[in-house]
Structure 1
């Protein structure tokens, strides 16, 4: 083959794309361990229930403060889009923020006082959420540049699910075998390693020219933000995400239900999370293989219908029987598949709604809506479970499925069906 400048550039681009695929996979694997829903999740929930004696509403409200760093993700996106650190917009921030997360988990491992627990958890949430914004900005920038958005998304979430399999089993084992305090501290010590890995790899792999903020780039970014809020697609996506993430029957309510009503052990609950993650891996593969180059309308309609079906299926498993464990195993696997296919479709939609020069801000804005709505629905679900439904979970499951189905009515209103997804 003739070694032309064009061919050489293609080879360089191909190598860099492969490096990015490796980076995104490892980073999301590490984030799957480090985030609040990772290894720390089950030991923390068990600690809140057994040591702090919190009910469903109390535990949800206590954890609500950890959502704040995820809800204000656009702030991190703005900082990363506007302000360079040590001359870089992305890699320097990734280094500093992941070291901050590591410090937070070290503090958490040393805490013996429950009053300090929330502060250490908040520090880890700030570092993890901000780093997540910057990784997503890199994904959006390079996904658009190399036409690899859907592929990058599939790789990221595949490895996140692998991490969730490991952390679900290990977290459940820690909650089951150790006392709540020891289990929480052990999980924190193990988790400390993950942000260090992210910091090192992102510094070594990310190719970024040094930049300094000047008036021209400032105007370009402001123009990008202005364009962001003029985008009809963006507003359609926002409304879609609000309904999509209204799931009051899941999270803390279903965890307490499985523990107190169905008498599932912490280890078994951890294994259910792992089974769901196995289903999610299959879902990520199915999306990359069969769904990523379908039209956006097809992806969203398929996702809405299958997600609603999997949600309503839980109505058949909430009455305690000798088969409850088997039912939850099957439902966890099926729910993992459908939720991952749906998630990747929605995230691809969100990534394509981001104008240039404000990728970090826009994608962070959309993801903050995801996190805020998820936490708000969890708080509403816990409150309704206690005050309206007297601990009966079925009405919350019906509300969750109905909100998902209502997304169908948004598609023609916001002309999402006219979008075309380009094959990576």
Structure 2
């Protein structure tokens, strides 16, 4: 059963990562806005900010998932309906004339339905992981579902811009989305068992109160916020590497792809160690190494050293990311997996990323790149005292041992 569970969520996470507007269509959409619609940098930033609103409000989609599910289909109802809607949106873009407002509105709709898909997929994976003691191994699957599409999208996106029309890109995104539609008909036994074990219906206010009072969730959410709060990354790093280190645009694309690619080896290492050591120990190991991720940026002084930094960045971050996702899965209250995962994972990721990028851009303009990197490093170091606030019963077991998530 465990192999089937791993395969099911590996396929689902890969399809979601590649099919979303931030996946394989992300770079072509950006170039379409810049080169075909002639948007200025500010106008492009506004477009990206608007379509990111549903991601920041991801907890609302998780709450919808937790409150309303079909008795027979469960989470598969959202996978089917929302993926079908997203594929239809891509097909509409591919077969009609597109202007700015049409692209904005349809991409916004596609992002909304994909956030709903993501909420359902995360909730289902969390419930199965808790029930079968697989939070560690499925956190690795989650990491692969994020970083592998990031690598493929970074490499394929540029190729698509040069060799395919934007309409062809939308058709590819639609075909990828249809994989999710087909997966909705895969009745995973472990998922069916999870659906049957859900708690009786409770009203919305009671559910919100239970979520707020579920103490284990909030240290995990704060840790994930600090981990993704990187004023030294994003825009400051882009300007530092391209204007001061003076690397080419092609090398920067390679740098971005390698960053994601080298998260994977240490994520796999986590999958090996999580069944042999308790989560508490892995959290400490991962955090200590993760603190070093910021200072290595100072080593980027030329093309070769920039590639080395990209590799080290990924290697230093993969283990910690898997450990923090493992902790979030263990911290979710039963019956509210969708809301909790979207609060602690998706919303924290989006808010921390946007806030860090805005603050980092201001710091970079006024105090330089070094100041932005120092604040990034301090933010990661603040995770250390937060580890003491994590309930010991959630982290004292190895993957494969049952957890009392209540």
Please report the TM-score for the alignment, with normalisation by the length of structure 1.
0.82
1:234·1:353 contact (CA, 8 Å) conserved in 2?
A: yes
1:412 and 2:388 matched: yes
Check the 8 A contact 2:14/2:149 in 1, yes or no: yes
Which residue is equivalent to 1:203? 185
| Structure 2 equivalent of residue 352 of structure 1 | 330
Distance in 1 (alpha carbons) for counterparts of 2:70 and 2:97? 32
1:237 maps to which residue?
220
Give secondary structure in 1 for the equivalent of 2:52.
helix
CA distance 1:210–1:290, change in 2 (3 Å): closer
* CA distance, structure 1, for counterparts of residue 311 and residue 231 of structure 2: 20
After superposition, the C-alpha distances for 1:60-117 in whole angstroms (9 at most, x for unaligned) are 4431222221122222222222212484331111101111222233344445423333
Given that residues 279 and 398 in structure 2 are in contact (C-alpha distance below 8 angstroms), is that contact kept between their aligned partners in structure 1? Answer: no
The match for 1:21 is 6
Shift of 1:161: 3.1
Q: Among residues 151, 156, 164, which one is paired with 2:142 in the alignment?
A: 156
**Displacement, 1:24?**
0.7
Q: Distance in 1 between matches of 2:309 and 2:100?
A: 35
Length-normalised TM-score, structure 2: 0.85
After superposition, the CA RMSD in angstroms is 3.1
In 1, distance between residues paired with 2:166 and 2:88?
A: 16
Q: Within 5 Å, which residues of 2 pair with 1:364-383?
A: 364-367=342-345, 368-383=347-362
Check conservation: 2:217, 2:331, Cα contact below 8 A: yes
**Which aligned pairs between 1:197-276 and structure 2 lie closer than 5 A?**
197-207=179-189, 217-219=200-202, 225-259=208-242, 262=245, 264-276=247-259
Q: Does 1:106 align with 2:91?
A: yes
Q: Note if 1:124 corresponds to 2:103.
A: no
Which ranges of structure 1 fall in alignment gaps of 5 or more residues?
1-13
List gaps (5 residues or longer) in structure 2: 401-406
Count of residues in Structure 1 that have an aligned counterpart in Structure 2: 394
* SS state at 1:39 partner: coil
- Following superposition, the deviation at residue 126 of structure 1 comes to 1.0
Is 1:142–2:128 an aligned residue pair? Answer: yes
In structure 2, how many angstroms separate the alpha carbons of the residues matched to 1:252 and 1:397? 12
2:136–2:326 Cα contact (<8 Å) kept: yes
1:150-188 C-alpha deviation (Å, 9 max, x unpaired): 11221232354333332221113334x36xxx6654433
Residue 143 of structure 1 and its aligned partner are, at CA, apart by 0.9
Write the distance in 1 (CA, Å) between the matches of 2:362 and 2:32: 21
**Closer, same or farther: CA 241–154 of 1 in aligned 2, 3 Å:** closer
Q: How far apart, CA to CA, are the structure 2 residues paired with 1:348 and 1:23? A: 18
Give, in angstroms, the shift of residue 311 of structure 1. 1.8
- Structure 1 residues 167 and 290 mapped into 2: Cα distance closer, same or farther (>3 Å)? same
In structure 1, how many angstroms separate the alpha carbons of the residues matched to 2:165 and 2:259? 22
